[in-house]
Every structure is written in C-alpha cells, then in structure tokens.
Amino acid sequence: MSALFVLIILHGVLVACAYSAHNNLTPRKTVEYEDNHAITFKEKGIWNYSTMLIREDLGLLMLGAREAVYALDINDISVAKSKVLWKVTEEKQQECISKGKHPDIDCHNYIRMLHQMNDSVMYVCGTNAFNPTCDYITYGDGQLKLEEKQEEGRGKCPFDPFQRSSSVMIDQELYSATSYNFLGSEPVILRNSPVSLRTVIKSSWLNEPNFIYMDVVPESENSPEGDDDKIYMFFNENAIEYDFYSKLLVSRVAKVCKGDMGGQRTLQRKWTSFLKARLDCSVPEPSLPYIIQDVFHARHKKWRNSIFYAIFTSQSSTTDQTSAICAYNVTDISEVFSRGKFKTPVTVETSDVKWVTYSGEIPVPRPGDCINNAARSLGIERSLDLPDKTLQFIRDRPLMDDAVRPITGKPLLVNRGPSLTRLVVDHVTALDGQSYPVMFIGTENGYLQKAVNYDGEMHVIEEVKLFQNAEPVDVLRLHQSQLYAGSASGVVQMPSSNCSRYISCLDCVLARDPYCAWDPTAQRCSRLPSLPNDADGHLIQSLKDADATRCPITVTTEPNIRNLVLGNNIRLLCRPDSNLAQVSWNFTGKQLLSSDRKYTIYSDGILIYNALTADAGRYTCTSVEWVKGRPYTQTLAIYDLQEKSIVDVTEKIQITSGIVLESYTTSSGLQELEGKPSRPETQTGEGKWVVMQVALAVLSVMMGCLLIWNLYMGHISPFMCFGRQSSKTPRNCTERGYVCTVGTEHDSLDGKPQTVRLRLASNSDVEATNFHRNAPNGNVPMDTQIFKYITDESEI
C-alpha cells in the first residue's frame, strides 16, 4: 500500500510542477435544446438507441435499439427507410424471469452489436433476455430483412444489456471482448473464426474487466520488420500489481496479433500474443488512477501517425466529478509491448503474491511478439512453431512493467463537472493550412462539447444540449461533418459546426472555431471548405492568437427608449455573445453593482426594483472578453428610461340589473419590460403607500355610491344617516379627491326606464356613463347586484 501511495504522490507532484490544471473549462457558448436545430429520431415504445453502424455505400445509418433495428437516411435520420423487430419469445422471457431478472428491464432483446460482413449482409447480436443470440440482416429494395439464421451469441454479445463490451469485424472474422457466462464472472477476449482463440481464465490475464473499445491497426503495412497487424483492446480492471486495502481499478491497453493461431502444446487455442500494459493519464493533484470510459481511433493514412483519444474519469467518490482526455500514439503503445520490461509474480513470506519487475533472461523469440522477420529467420513461420519456453513465459507474465504515457505527457483536457461519456475527433484544416484535432465530447447530462487544443491551451468552443431531458450520451459517431448521438430515448443528428451561431466578426473570430471564418464581403461567419484557399486574404480567422483586430469597427448601438413608471420593477435584457465575457452596467456614467440592493444583475440582464424618479436616465450594458491577454469590449445594449406620469386605468363595474359604472383608477406596483416576475417584498414604503392610497380612493367611491343607491331605494332610513334629503335634490360627496355627483331622478309614468346620471372625476373631468334602472317600482334585489371588475383596458 505504501508503494502505491508513493507512486500516486510522485505522479501528482511531477505533473503539478509541469503545468497548471485546466479545471472548470467553461464552454464559450451554450446552445440550449430549443436552439440546437438538430434532426431527431425516436419511436414510441422503443428505447435504448445505443448501437450504430454507418453504411456509406447504402446511404444509411443502421441503428440498433431495444428489440428493433432501423435503417435511417444518413442525410436526414428523421426518415426511417425500413425497420425490423426482433423481440424475445414468451418462452425466453419466462426463462429470464425465472432466473431472477426484471421482466420489464432485463428480459428484452437489446441490440448490442452491428457489423458489416460484405456489401449485402450485416451481422447483428442481441442480449435476447440474458440468452445472447446473433443473426444476419440484409438490406435490399429499400427493406431490411432478418434472415432468421440464429447463432449462439455467447462470447460475442454480453448477457447483461447494461454491461460494457466491445467488438470489431476484420475480414469477416469477429473479435469480441465480453463475458462468457450468465453471471458475468468469466471475461473473455475471443476470435470467432475457423481457428478460434480466446484468453486464459486467470486473474493475471483478466481480472474483472470492463471492456471499452477495440480496433485493428495495420502494422504490417510498410513494416521493415515484417510485422503483423494488431488488434488493440482498451478496458479497466482490478489491479493485480498493487497491494491495496480494497479493489483498485486501473486502465489497460492490450494487444493480440491478427495472425495468431495459438500454441502447439502450451496455450492451445489460446492467444500466444496477448500482452497488456497500464494506461497513464495523470491529473495535477494526487489521486487514484483515472478509469477509462471511451476511446476514439483517429486513423491516419500512415498508421504510425494514428492516435487513440481516450476519456478518463476519477474513481474517487466525490460530488465534484473530474474527467480527463488523453491522447496516445500507436507507436508509443507498440514500443511498450515490443521493447518494454515485464512484470513477474513472486511469493513472499506471508504467502502473498507480489508483482515486481522481471530481471531475468527473456526467451527468444520475445514473448508476445507477432511472427516477424526475426522469428522467420529462426524457422518459425507461425505461432504453432513457437517454443514452449516462450509460451510458458507469456502464459505467466502477460503484464508489462512500463505504462503507456500520453503524447503530451499530460491530459489534453481536465474538467470538473458532469462526467464525460463519449468522444469522437475530427481533424480540420484551418485557414493557416494547419490541421487541428477537434474533439466532440458527450456528457452524462446530454450535452455535446466541442473542444480543441492550441499548443497546450485547451479551448472549449461551445456546448450544445442534445436531448430535452438530462440523459447520458450512450453512443457518438462522426461521418462527413455530421454527428450522430444516441441515448436511451432517441437519436440526434447535427452538423459538426454551425457558423451562423456567431453573429458578428468579433464573435466569429473569438470563437476560434477551425471550421469557421468571418467573410467581410458577405458580412457573415462562414464555414470553410474542406481545403480552404484564401489567396487574397479577405477571410478573417485567428485560432492560436485570437487576434480580432482585423474586424471592422462595429456600428454604434442605438438606444432603446423605455417608459419608467414609478414604483414598478423594471428588467432590462442584455445577453453577451460569450460565456467568457464579463458584463457590466453603467447608469449615467456610473457602474452599477449587485451589492446595491436597488439592483440585481443577472447573466442576461438587470432588474431595477421600485423605480423612482432618480432612476430615469441612460443604462448601458457592456461586455469585456479577455483572450490571450487582450480585452475585447462590446456595447451590447443601451436603454433610455423616461419617466411616465401615473396613468389612469379605466375599470368597469357591471351590475346584473343593467347598471354599468365606469371609473378610473391609478396603476401601480409593476412594470415588467421583459416579463420578469416582480418581487413586491422589495418595494419601499413609498411604493406601498401609493398603492394603499389608490385602493382606499376606489373603495371610498364605491361605498359612497352604494350608500346613495340604498338611500334612494329606501333600503336604509335617511334618519340613520345625515338627515333625510329630497330625492329630487342633487347630492355631492367628496372622498380623497374623487367627486361623485348624482343627477336628478325623473319619475316616468309611461313605463320607460328611469334614468340617473352618475359622474366620477379624478383631477380631471371624466364623463361617466348613463345607466338604466329597469326594475319595476324601483326595487332591485340586492342579491342580484353583482359587480364585475374589468381589468383589461382593451374592453374599455
């Protein structure tokens, strides 16, 4: 245990001294789900869209889900050209349930493997209710067809639909890494061919592994050593080389040779070329080894320039999850296997097995090597000819002492936040003629990040929310500048870059997107062609330096005039182009601070509470974005708040007897220019007093009118009030500036309605409406006098 801690601390100190951590990398731009303009596909009742096969020759994206395989149009995945269902039989489902598995989760057929065998036939495997099964599928005349030639899927496809596995089809031979039994306790790396090979069932070979990825590297091409092609496998497993108090996971890369045929007596029908080594992806701070989660093979015409990019996550149980991305050169991996030292188990006094560096004699041919010119010179033409000494060595010592280091010696990216789940990489030729690897990274909360490393500086260009719900990205593919992402609920297609998101020259250049450049002639951010040629130099792009000084001077921002109503809360919008920009607000030349209880400054605006006369004036929103030590300032918005007098808001009061009363009251309390909810608890006493005054005035008018009406109708004795007055005499009542005048009532003997004129005024002469009293003998039941308040001014 002490040796492990010393190793961890030493790594942490060395890396911390070498460079500063790039923690909390903030994407420069965030695109929400509503604005991603992505093409989606999902079908009701179908889940777990986690397997993809790109058939460029057919123009199809083959998609495997739970109990279904789809053929989607590769240019528009919303178009499903065909589908086949592959459901579990009732018998298999009952067997699955009887073994203790969940009927609605485990006991279905999850498509976990899709491979092309030739132009017309594909190989498909599914979990089939914990009974893995494979079959053949064809596409012709626009239709998919399941051939129903089912084969045993044990060792090819996992039993558990949620267990990681990997596979690759090479020359119609399937290489797979998964579990060989129902319990998942027998891991295997298998080749299904006329000469089938598999790994040895020993913890020194595979110790509870979690398989992540596998692919072939054509190392026989232009090889002066006459080497063989190799299949590389990436996985994590419990470490056997460390004495730790509990299980410690480590990341591995392993390899086998394509031409391996097993041994003659030792390692019969077993791999004779299996070797594994630890993958190192050290972060600055001391920590447990990071665990590999996904790998992308960036192939190159010259295989020696091929690179494996890998995502790692911490295995520490902390709420602040850390992820890292490291890149490995194929030649560095091959060098560790062909020239590195081996580890060997030794028994100590306590009968524990320790793994130490092997210092003895290494047999010839070298254990684990493919059959090459050196072996052929010894008369060894195939693995069956290898001597037992070499085979026994590899059987007992498959682990290398040296670890594989990343190309840069450190991670390309270290990020705290939601875990990174999937990764693809596109190499883009920019305007300067250089090729830059652009990484597209899926996250556990359904975002896709686009990042690029410029001479050791990691820059996250943007993040796009792919799915409406926060669900992990389970599969990610890249084909001809189109990205395809799958999750439990559906699939999304989107271009690798959408330059139209950059709305100005400054925004376009500071995005530092290798796909995009600003075109001053067209006044837009345009996508570069695959082979950019800007002979006259009119396009503007600056990736490493982020120099936007060539951008034309922006047009002066015109002020927006807004009305300010006393006592209201006012919100002014201002959205910066970049998450990296710092926004500041100025009012009449003075910077506003959130510490002032008068204001709250948000990421997209400012809220002014309880507007007063002193708050009228000019508000300016400015952003400053620092890039490579240079500040770039933009004026984003200007608002002129102009005080507006208290507006009389007309209200209507309706009585079911036919009486309509129109009055005017003052508005107060809230002015939301942009629809932000008010916070009345923050209003001052002055604002509340205005509201109270208006309410009391309206109530007084209504009570006065009601009293007059009841006196007139005789419901209240006049002696109960201020003395009986003739009903023929006009009466005036004054309450808080409101004058209520009731006109003379004229008796009608011809049966026509009797008319009374009521007049209300508030500081100005406002005509009231006539109302009619239709009730016979002037008796209107009080329970029918219902008042209706009209709050919509459009009804006045």
Q: What is the DSSP string of 115-165?
A: EE-SSSEEEEEE-TTTS-EEEEEEEETTEEEE----EE-TTTS-SSTTS--
Burial 465-486 (b: 16+ CB within 10 A, else e): bbbeeeebbbbbbbeeebbbbb
**Cα gap 129→108, rounded to integer Å:** 5
Amino acid of residue 76: D
**Cα gap 586→638, rounded to integer Å:** 10
Considering the entire predicted model, what is its pTM?
A: 0.79
Asked if omega into 680 is within 30° of 0 (cis), the reply is no
Task: Determine contact, residues 345/396, Cβ cutoff 8 Å.
Answer: yes
C-alpha dist (Å) from residue 110 to 63, 135, 469: 12, 13, 22
Per-residue confidence (pLDDT) for residue 348, from 0 to 100? 79
Average pLDDT over every residue of 772-796: 37
Task: Determine contact, residues 546/504, Cβ cutoff 8 Å.
Answer: no
| Residues contacting 731, CB < 8 A, separation 6+ | 708, 725, 742
**Edge-first strand listing for the sheet containing 435-443:** 29-31, 457-465, 447-454, 435-443, 420-429
Compute the CA torsion angle 577, 579, 585, 589 (nearest 10 deg): -70
Per-residue confidence (pLDDT) for residue 113, from 0 to 100? 97
- SS3 state at 239: coil
Per-residue confidence (pLDDT) for residue 772, from 0 to 100? 37
151 or 552, which is more confident? 151
Per-residue confidence (pLDDT) for residue 687, from 0 to 100? 47
390 φ/ψ angles, rounded to the nearest 5 degrees: -70, -40
534 pLDDT band, cuts 50/70/90, is confident
Q: Are strands 457-465 and 29-31 parallel, antiparallel or unpaired?
A: parallel
Average pLDDT over every residue of 439-455: 96
pLDDT, one tens digit per residue, over 158-212 is 999 999 999 999 999 999 999 999 999 999 999 999 999 999 999 999 999 999 9
Average pLDDT over every residue of 100-118: 96
Answer yes or no: is pLDDT of 32 > 90: yes
DSSP for 721-786?
TT----TTS-EEEEETTEEEEEPPP---SSSPPEEEEEEEEESS--PPPEEEE-SGGG---GGG--
788 or 122, which is more confident? 122
Check residue 120 and give left, alpha or beta (phi > 0: left; psi -120 to 50: alpha).
alpha
290 φ/ψ angles, rounded to the nearest 5 degrees: -80, 150
Per-residue confidence (pLDDT) for residue 783, from 0 to 100? 41
Answer yes or no: is pLDDT of 775 > 50: no
Q: Which is it for the CA torsion 683, 685, 687, 693, positive or negative?
A: positive
Q: Of the given ranges (5-19, 424-438, 525-539, 694-708), which has the lowest mean pLDDT?
A: 5-19
Helices (H), 487-627: 505-511
Per-residue confidence (pLDDT) for residue 388, from 0 to 100? 95
71 or 716, which is more confident? 71
Per-residue confidence (pLDDT) for residue 728, from 0 to 100? 40
455 or 176, which is more confident? 176
**Percent of the residues in the chain that have a pLDDT greater than 90, as a whole number:** 68
Specify the long-range contacts of residues 521-530, CB closer than 8 Å, at least 24 apart: 524/499, 524/500, 525/499, 525/500, 525/501, 526/499, 527/497, 527/499, 528/429, 528/430, 528/431, 530/429
Beta bridge partners of 323: 313, 415
319 pLDDT band, cuts 50/70/90, is low
Average pLDDT over every residue of 290-319: 92
**Cα gap 404→690, rounded to integer Å:** 74
pLDDT, one tens digit per residue, over 209-242 is 999 999 999 999 999 999 999 999 999 999 999 8
pLDDT, one tens digit per residue, over 633-659 is 999 999 999 987 544 333 333 333 333
Answer yes or no: is pLDDT of 707 > 60: yes
Answer yes or no: is pLDDT of 611 > 60: yes
Per-residue confidence (pLDDT) for residue 756, from 0 to 100? 38
Per-residue confidence (pLDDT) for residue 792, from 0 to 100? 38
* Total number of residues shown for the chain: 796
Per-residue confidence (pLDDT) for residue 107, from 0 to 100? 97
Name which of 232, 279, 280, 282 is nearest 257 in CA terms.
Answer: 232
Name which of 457, 459, 493 is nearest 475 in CA terms.
Answer: 493
Instruction: Give 704: exposed, middle or buried? Use CB within 10 Å, 0-12, 13-18, 19+.
Output: middle
Average pLDDT over every residue of 750-772: 38
Per-residue confidence (pLDDT) for residue 12, from 0 to 100? 40
Instruction: Give 433: exposed, middle or buried? Use CB within 10 Å, 0-12, 13-18, 19+.
Output: exposed
Per-residue confidence (pLDDT) for residue 537, from 0 to 100? 81
pLDDT, one tens digit per residue, over 506-524 is 999 999 999 999 999 999 9
Residue 175: Cβ within 10 Å count: 23
Instruction: Give 731: exposed, middle or buried? Use CB within 10 Å, 0-12, 13-18, 19+.
Output: middle
Average pLDDT taken over every residue of the chain: 83
Highest mean pLDDT range out of 289-298, 583-592, 595-604, 731-740? 289-298
Average pLDDT over every residue of 35-46: 95
691 pLDDT band, cuts 50/70/90, is low
Residue 732: Cβ within 10 Å count: 9
767 pLDDT band, cuts 50/70/90, is very low
Domains of the chain: 32-186 (no CATH), 199-417 (2.130.10.10), 495-527 (3.30.1680), 560-644 (2.60.40.10), 648-668+694-795 (no CATH)
**Could you tell me the end-to-end alpha-carbon distance of the chain, in angstroms, rounded to an integer?**
83
Burial 333-342 (b: 16+ CB within 10 A, else e): bbebbbebeb
Average pLDDT over every residue of 416-430: 95
Average pLDDT over every residue of 582-589: 92
